[in-house]
């Protein structure tokens, strides 16, 4: 009996070590998959697919409208120069300013579409998302500068009016408010990313601890 027990002990030890190695491999594999897919958790709340489709469709329509506007601006500027020959000298700079502002608007729409896609795919909580938000802020800031430059050009050309000045001022203030709101949302996004990083560190530490407990050496 003692001999039989002595013969079974090594095999049972090998089996235990095998189970320990399997558990370690399983935990490490689960740890890597949980870390690699930390932003793609199936149970995480996400917007409805129909809402995403509608949003992307509207953004696409606005982008097409902006491209059409850029295509029509030269002919509109030429018609305005013929109708108002005294302001023909302002045609080129104002046309350039308008095309630049519309191009910045297209950039903001494209970045917004990308961020919406990231929200749907569950990858919004990445550091690269903050860089795209920074691109929106930079585009809005450039648009503010262009609006101010347009006001200066029109004033120097003595082609302005109180209504035009009020419109440009309202547009500049609107862009400034949009930039401030975007900065607030960026701060919230960065805070959420930091919280996710801390959670990932806790999850990584927990599974590393469990893998050490299940390792053959620990046994």
- The domain locations on the chain are 49-201
Q: What pLDDT sits at residue 213?
A: 61
Give pLDDT, residue 214.
62
Categorize the per-residue pLDDT at 90 as very low, low, confident or very high, splitting at 50, 70 and 90: confident
Nearest Cα residue to 179 out of 143, 146, 204: 143
Summarize pLDDT for 115-168 with one digit per residue, the tens.
999 998 888 888 899 999 999 999 999 999 999 999 888 888 777 678 888 999
Average pLDDT value for the chain:
80
Quick: pLDDT tens for 123-132.
888 889 999 9
**Residue 44: predicted pLDDT:** 53
Q: What separation, in Å, do the N-terminal and C-terminal C-alpha atoms of the chain show? A: 26
The 3-state DSSP class for residue 70 equals helix
Residue 155 has a pLDDT of 83
3-state class percentages of the chain: helix first, strand second, coil last, to nearest 5:
85, 0, 15
Average pLDDT over residues 64-89: 90
To which residue do tokens 């690699």 refer? Answer: 36
Model's pTM, two decimal places? Answer: 0.72
List the alpha helices (DSSP H) in 84-124.
Answer: 91-121
* pLDDT tens figures, 179-209: 999 999 999 999 988 888 888 788 777 777 7
Distance CA 37, CA 31 (A): 10
pLDDT at residue 71, rounded to an integer: 96
CA nearest to 189, candidates 137, 152, 140, 153: 137
Q: Is 214 helix (H, G, I), strand (E, B) or coil?
A: coil
The position carrying tokens 């896609």 is 117
Residue in this structure with the two tokens 């080129």, named with its chain if needed: 92
Residue 104 and residue 142 in contact, taking contact as beta carbons nearer than 8 Å: yes
The burial class, CB within 10 Å (0-12 / 13-18 / 19+), for 91 is: middle
């Amino acid at each position: 009996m003692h001999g039989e027990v002595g013969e079974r002990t090594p095999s049972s030890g090998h089996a235990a070590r095998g189970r320990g190695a399997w558990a370690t491999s399983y935990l490490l594999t689960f740890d890597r998959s949980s870390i690699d897919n930390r932003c793609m958790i199936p149970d995480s709340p996400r917007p409805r697919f129909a809402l995403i489709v509608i949003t992307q469709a509207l953004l696409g329509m606005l982008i097409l409208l902006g491209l059409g506007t850029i295509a029509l601006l030269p002919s509109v500027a030429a018609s305005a120069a013929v109708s108002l020959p005294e302001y023909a000298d302002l045609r080129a700079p104002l046309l350039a300013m308008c095309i630049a502002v519309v191009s910045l608007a297209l950039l903001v729409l494209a970045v917004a579409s990308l961020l919406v896609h990231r929200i749907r795919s569950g990858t919004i909580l990445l550091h690269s998302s903050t860089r795209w938000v920074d691109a929106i802020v930079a585009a809005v800031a450039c648009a503010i500068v262009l609006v101010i430059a347009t006001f200066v050009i029109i004033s120097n050309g003595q082609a302005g009016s109180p209504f035009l000045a009020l419109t440009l001022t309202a547009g500049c203030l609107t862009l400034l408010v949009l930039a401030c709101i975007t900065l607030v949302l960026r701060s919230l996004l960065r805070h959420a990313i930091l919280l996710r990083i801390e959670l990932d560190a806790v999850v990584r530490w927990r599974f590393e601890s469990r893998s050490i407990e299940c390792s053959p050496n620990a046994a």
